[in-house]
Amino acid sequence: MTPLKKARTGRRWTLADVSARLALIGDQVDTGNLSRIERGTQRASTALAENLCRVFEHELTEIHILYPERFADTEEAA
């Protein structure tokens, strides 16, 4: 599980919740793109990574979002 998905599910937010919170700070991202970013099949732009950090109140860093493979969940690998 990527750090972004961990943070989202830990707050019990849906992808739509994250999208709505991004919209409040002026960033329009649909849930499909967020899902792909969360799964690591699409890279976020640096601006989106920064805004996601703001939405998650800096629980995540841009590095968590841009390079999720560096934070592989060791439980998943087992």
Residue 65 resides in a domain: yes
CATH code (residue 55): 1.10.260
Q: How far apart are CA 28 and CA 2, in angstroms?
A: 22
Residue 28 resides in a domain: yes
Range of the domain at 52: 3-72
Q: From first to last of its 78 residues, what are the pLDDT tens digits of the chain?
A: 999 999 999 999 999 999 999 999 999 999 999 999 999 999 999 999 999 999 999 999 999 999 999 987 655 544
Residue 42 resides in a domain: yes
Total structural domains in the chain? Answer: 1
Exposure string of 5-25, with b = 16+ CB inside 10 Å and e = fewer, is bbbbeeeebebeebbebbeee
Res 77: pLDDT: 46
One-letter identity of residue 69: E
